[in-house]
């Protein structure tokens, strides 16, 4: 009983500590934001209303579709259009000031990429993968028995040498029909593909087409295009990914360096 109470108190203490850390991080982010806005004003920069109008209109199109939807959303949130516009203005200023003061032309040397790869081999292990195409025939869209007949016709025509992508465009009922049924690379354990379909995919050889798979709700025909065995991804496969990771880290370091300079020439006082 006492042990359970101690564990409960420890969890509560950990939660309170985490809450304090989150509040502290949020406060520091607000301070950084205000320092950048103050720097914009102190430097004497000016942002014409025409630019903000364009920014706001672009945001409305991207996030809300139209002004009517925006206004409905703002009302639900208890926010005014003026405050929304000011938020967009401040976000634009912060983005522009960051681009101006943090050098975006970061160069990552090939040696740094290689060292990162060697030090983080656990990040680059991959399970067995398969690259597939799939035709999905939705039973709710066809008369009873038709989906299986369609699947059989597809398999027959594939056996006669017809192109899977063209047949996917002709028969498939899902959105990927326009991409020839392409599903890209999938891993067995991480795929949302049904179990019955995964079992075929990870036993089939490249180029092999499944028989008609008559499952609940739909009929499927799958083609396995390529296979990759489990193992380490090669450096050439992940070089661009590592380079982007290192660039992001370096840009964040430079951003923090710039913020530190802003903090150094400012007076910040905390109140409990």
User: From CA 262, how far away is CA 31, in angstroms rounded?
Assistant: 10
φ and ψ at residue 234, rounded to 5 degrees: -70, 160
265 in any annotated domain: no
195 in any annotated domain: yes
For 125, the 3-state DSSP assignment is strand
Other CB atoms within 10 A of residue 244 CB: 11
Which pairs from 231-239 meet CB under 8 Å and 24+ separation?
Answer: 231/125, 231/126, 232/121, 232/124, 232/125, 232/126, 233/124, 233/125, 233/126, 235/113, 235/114, 235/117, 238/117, 238/124, 239/113
204 in any annotated domain: yes
Tokens of 193: 């593909």
Q: What pTM does this model have?
A: 0.64
User: From CA 74, how far away is CA 56, in angstroms rounded?
Assistant: 14
45 in any annotated domain: no
Rounded (5°) CA angle 158-163-164:
75
CB distance 39 to 262 below 8 Å: yes
Q: How far is CA 109 from CA 75, 236, 250, in A?
A: 51, 14, 12
State the pLDDT at residue 1.
60
Q: Which of 242, 206, 200 is nearest to 221 (CA)?
A: 200
Q: What is the domain extent for residue 173?
A: 128-229
**What total of structural domains would you count in the chain?**
1
State the pLDDT at residue 5.
59
User: From CA 148, how far away is CA 139, in angstroms rounded?
Assistant: 9
216 in any annotated domain: yes
CATH code, domain with 137: 3.10.50.40
243 in any annotated domain: no
Per-residue pLDDT tens digits of the chain, which is 272 residues long: 666 656 767 777 788 888 888 888 888 999 999 999 999 999 999 999 999 999 999 999 999 999 999 999 999 999 999 999 999 999 999 999 999 999 999 999 999 999 999 999 999 988 899 999 999 999 999 999 999 999 999 999 999 999 999 999 999 999 899 999 999 999 887 678 899 999 999 999 999 999 999 999 999 999 999 998 888 989 999 999 999 999 999 999 999 999 999 999 888 887 76
State the pLDDT at residue 204.
94
Q: Which position has the token pair 């370091």?
A: 253
272 in any annotated domain: no
244 in any annotated domain: no
């Amino acid at each position: 009983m006492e042990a359970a109470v101690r564990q409960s108190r420890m969890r509560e203490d950990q939660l309170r500590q985490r809450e304090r850390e989150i509040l502290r991080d949020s406060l520091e982010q607000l301070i950084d934001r205000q320092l950048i806005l103050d720097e914009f004003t102190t430097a004497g920069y000016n942002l014409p209303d025409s630019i903000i109008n364009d920014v706001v209109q672009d945001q409305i199109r991207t996030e809300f579709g139209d002004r009517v939807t925006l206004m409905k959303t703002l009302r639900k949130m208890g926010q005014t259009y003026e405050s929304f516009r000011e938020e967009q203005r401040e976000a634009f200023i912060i983005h522009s000031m960051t681009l101006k003061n943090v050098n975006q032309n970061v160069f990552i040397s090939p040696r740094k990429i290689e060292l990162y790869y060697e030090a983080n081999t656990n990040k680059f292990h991959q399970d067995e993968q398969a690259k597939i195409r799939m035709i999905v025939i939705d039973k709710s869209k066809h008369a009873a028995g038709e989906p299986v007949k369609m699947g059989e016709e597809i398999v027959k025509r594939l056996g006669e040498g017809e192109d899977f992508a063209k047949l996917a465009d002709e028969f498939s009922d899902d959105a990927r029909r326009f991409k020839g049924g392409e599903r890209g690379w999938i891993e067995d354990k991480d795929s949302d593909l049904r179990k019955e379909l995964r079992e075929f995919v990870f036993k089939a050889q490249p180029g092999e087409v499944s028989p008609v798979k008559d499952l609940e709700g739909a009929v499927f025909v799958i083609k396995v295009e390529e296979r990759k065995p489990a193992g380490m991804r090669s450096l050439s496969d992940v070089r661009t990914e590592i380079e982007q990771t290192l660039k992001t880290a370096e840009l964040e370091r430079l951003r923090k360096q710039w913020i530190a300079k802003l903090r150094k020439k400012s007076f910040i006082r905390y109140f409990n």
